[in-house]
Amino acid sequence: MGSSSEAVAPRRRRSPWLAVLLLAPLLLGAADPSGDLVSCRRGSPTVSAAPIDMVRVSGGTAESGLALQFRITFAAPLPVPDDEGRPLRVDVLLRDTAVPDVKVDYYRGLNRIVRFDAVTETGLTVLLLPETSSSPFTSGVAVDGETLTLTLPARMVMLDPDLGGFDFSTLRWTVVARDEDTCDLLGEESRPTRRLQLPDRSSTVPAAPSDGSPAADADPLVSVGFLIACMAAIAVGGAVGFAAAWWRRHAE
C-alpha cells in the first residue's frame, strides 16, 4: 500500500527587529548614538560641536527605593563649570500618571523636570510643572569625567508613599542635554516614555514557614540529628539489656 504525504509550506519566521522597534522606547537603559546633535527648536541636525553628546543613559532607584538616580555618560568629559555663554543644561523629563500632563517650551507630555545646570555651585532644581513650583536640591550631583550622576529623593517628584512604598511602575522618563541652541535627545523625541530600572526583590524575600513555626524550619539538620541520636541511644540500650538478660539466663 502506497503512502501519500501532504506538502506543508514552511512557516515564515517573524523578524525579531519588529519587536525591538516596538519595545525600544521602554528599555530600562539605552545607548544613544554619538554625533546626533540637533537644533533644540527645529529638531534638524546640526554640526555644532557642543560637549553634550550623550552615549549612554540609565534611570533607576537608589537608597532602598527612597531615591531616584539617573546616570548619563557623554562622549567627552563634561565641562563643569561651563563659563562660556549660557551654562550647559541637562533636563531629566518625568511623567507621573498621578499628575496632569503639561507642555512647556518644546517639551510635551510631561509634568516634572529634574534640571542640572553646569554652574560653579552645582546642584539640581526640581520643577513641578502643574503646580508651578520649584525646589532646589544641592547635594544630588556627581561629575566624574564623562559621567554625570543625578540622585534625588523620590518624594520631591512623587506623592508621599503609604506603607507599601513608592509606586514607580507608572513613572516614565527621558533626558535632554542642551548647550545654547543645540540639543541631544535620548532617542528621537523629548517625551518621557522609558521605564525605571527597579531591583528584583524576589531573591531577598525569605520563604514563609509552612507550619507557622520559624524555629522548626530554620535549621532542619538540628532536629534530624537529635532524632538520630535518640534512635541510637534506644538501640544501644536495648542491645545492652538483651545481652545482660542472655548472660544471666546462661549463668543459672
Q: What is the pLDDT of residues 141-181, one digit of tens each?
A: 999 999 999 999 999 999 877 777 899 998 999 999 999 88
- Cβ-count burial of 153 within 10 angstroms (0-12 exposed, 13-18 middle, 19+ buried)? middle
- As given in the structure block, the three cell numbers for residue 224 are 534530624
CA atoms within 13 A on the CB side of 61: 21
pLDDT greater at residue 237 or residue 224: 237
Q: Express each pLDDT in 185-236 by its tens digit.
A: 998 788 999 999 988 654 344 444 444 444 334 334 344 454 455 565 555 5
Residue 13 has pLDDT above 50, yes or no: no
Q: What is the pLDDT of residues 81-95, one digit of tens each?
A: 998 888 999 999 999
**pLDDT, position 128:** 97
pLDDT for residue 17: 37
> What mean pLDDT comes out for the span 98-108?
91
- Cα separation, 195 vs 174, in Å, equals 9
188: left (phi over 0), alpha (psi -120 to 50) or beta: alpha
Stretch 125-154: mean pLDDT: 96
- Cis amide linkage into residue 51, ω under 30° from 0: no
**pLDDT score of 42:** 78
pLDDT value at residue 43? 74
| Residues forming beta bridges with residue 194, ordered by sequence position | 173
Burial string for 114-138 (b: 16+ CB within 10 Å, else e) reads bbbbbeeebebebbbbeeeeeeebe
Residue bearing cell 520631591: 156
User: Domains in the chain and their CATH numbers?
Assistant: 26-195 (2.60.40)
- Count of alpha carbons within 13 Å of 190, Cβ hemisphere only? 26
Tell me the per-residue pLDDT of 109-125, one tens digit each, with 9 for 90 and over. Answer: 999 999 999 998 889 99
User: What is the pLDDT of the chain when averaged over all its residues?
Assistant: 77
| Percent of residues, the chain, with pLDDT higher than 90 | 47
Identify the residue with better confidence: 108 or 7.
108
Range with the lowest mean pLDDT among 30-44, 173-187, 229-243?
229-243
Is residue 112 classed as helix, strand or coil in its secondary structure?
A: strand
Which pLDDT score, from 0 to 100, does residue 175 have?
97
Q: What is the pLDDT of residue 81?
A: 92
Of the chain, the end-to-end C-alpha distance in Å amounts to 91
Look at the pTM and tell me if it is higher than 0.85. no
